[in-house]
Amino acid sequence: MSEGGRALYAGVELGGTNVVFGVGHADGTLLDRRQMSTLDPDTTLRGIARGLDELAGRFGPARGLGIATFGPVRLDPTARDYGSIGRTPKTAWRDVNVLQELGSRFGGPVDIQTDVIGAAIGEATWGAGRGRDPFVYITVGTGIGAGVLVHGRPITGLLHPEAGHLRAPRAPGDAYPGGCEFHRDCIEGLAAGPSIVARWGGRLEELDPDHPAYELIAHYLSHLVTDIVLCVAPRGIVLGGGVMTNLGLFPAIRAGVQRLLGGYLEVEELAERVGEFIVPPGLGPDAGVLGAIEVGRNAAEIGRAARDP
């Protein structure tokens, strides 16, 4: 109401390391944004609920709440465990029903997506993914994940895409065993943040700019992007997350994808326009929370439609 009566929506980006939440409008305005560490489920969920209450006290009640959570998470509304976290390495969170826990405290229309689908929705709505369909947001950080939008909506089905766990041929001479708890040397196990620290004792930005680490990580991320191009035929790909703040990776990945596709797909996006096809996020670190707010807006709209058909 203090905002001239414009409708308010709340969003929670529940990442594996940090939580970001806030409130905003349907036009992508973020009124307030708060951040805290992701701790045990009880502390974290109570902290989020308290924070949302404070924001409601300051800006007025939100019409809908969107949650964008780390996964795997059950997104099938017909499933018994809809909204529950699955087999994550963060064992305290297994079987925690994030949708139910936050939704019941919020009390209004609510919906849930993965964190990376949230970021995809944010970028597709207001960022570097506008007008691109299909569109894919890939995050490369503590883990590697992809949010895939087709015909304007997220792909969910057998859970949701988990493209970080794709396998790729090894880079020549790479004998690192890989750090994925489930697959060992999937792409996440070979190229996510923790594997970089395990391989070279520091983050990419702490290494020499011509350290061979860049080429090796670009090798695996080029395979990841190529696989997604071949399976999903996207019109745009955003690469975000902590590792991708090393912008020097982008030219190497673009060249790697072109090399791997070998000219098979004759499209401008893979030739002269590759620099507009594989890009950094347009919303920076706000893609996830803004996407969650858009998920909340959509939940409110569906909620309204259900009451007034």
Give yes or no for a contact between 228 and 126, defined as CB atoms under 8 angstroms apart.
Answer: no
Nearer to a second copy, 59 or 137 (CB): 137
- In this complex, which beta carbon is closest to a second copy, that of residue 210 or of residue 266? 266
Whether the Cβ atoms of residue 59 and residue 3 lie closer than 8 Å to each other: yes
Per CB under 8 A, 148 contacts a second copy: yes
172 counts as binding a second copy under rule CB under 8 A: no
Q: Which is nearer to a second copy, 8 or 228 (CB)?
A: 228
Q: Which is nearer to a second copy, 101 or 185 (CB)?
A: 185
Report the C-alpha dihedral over residues 215, 269, 166, 97, rounded to 10 degrees: 120
Give CA–CA dist 136/127, Å, rounded.
12
Q: Which of 162, 178, 196, 279 binds a second copy (CB under 8 A)?
A: 162
Q: In whole angstroms, how far apart are CA 285 and each of 32, 94, 265, 282?
A: 14, 26, 32, 9
Using rule CB under 8 A, residue 258 touches a second copy: no
In this chain, which stretch among 30-38, 105-113, 202-210, 259-267 interacts with a second copy, using CB under 8 A? 259-267
CA–CA gap between residue 153 and residue 139 (Å, rounded): 18
CB of 213 to a second copy, least distance (A): 21
Question: Considering the rule CB under 8 A, would residue 238 count as an interface residue with a second copy?
Answer: no
Tokens 């509304």 belong to which residue?
77
Would you say 257 and 270 are in contact if contact means Cβ atoms under 8 Å apart?
A: yes
HSE-up of residue 103 (Cα within 13 Å, Cβ side)? 18
Q: Is residue 269 near a second copy by the rule CB under 8 A? A: yes
Write the interaction track for a second copy spanning residues 67-86; mark x where CB under 8 A is met and - where it is not: -----x-------------x
Give the SS3 label for residue 289: helix
Q: How far is the CB of 263 from a second copy (least distance, A)?
A: 7
- Whether the CB-CB separation of 117 and 147 falls below 8 Å is answered with yes
β-strands 9-14, 65-69 pairing: parallel
Q: Out of 23, 98, 110, 166, point to the residue binding a second copy (CB under 8 A).
A: 166
User: Does 90 sit near a second copy (CB under 8 A)?
Assistant: no
**Which phi and psi angles does 261 have, rounded to 5°?**
-80, -20
Applying the rule CB under 8 A, the residues between 179 and 198 that interact with a second copy are: 182-183
Site for a second copy in 6-65 (CB under 8 A): none
Q: How many residues bind a second copy (CB under 8 A)?
A: 48
Residues in contact with a second copy by the rule CB under 8 A: 72, 86-87, 133-134, 146, 148, 150-151, 153, 155-163, 165-170, 182-183, 223, 226-235, 260-267, 269-270
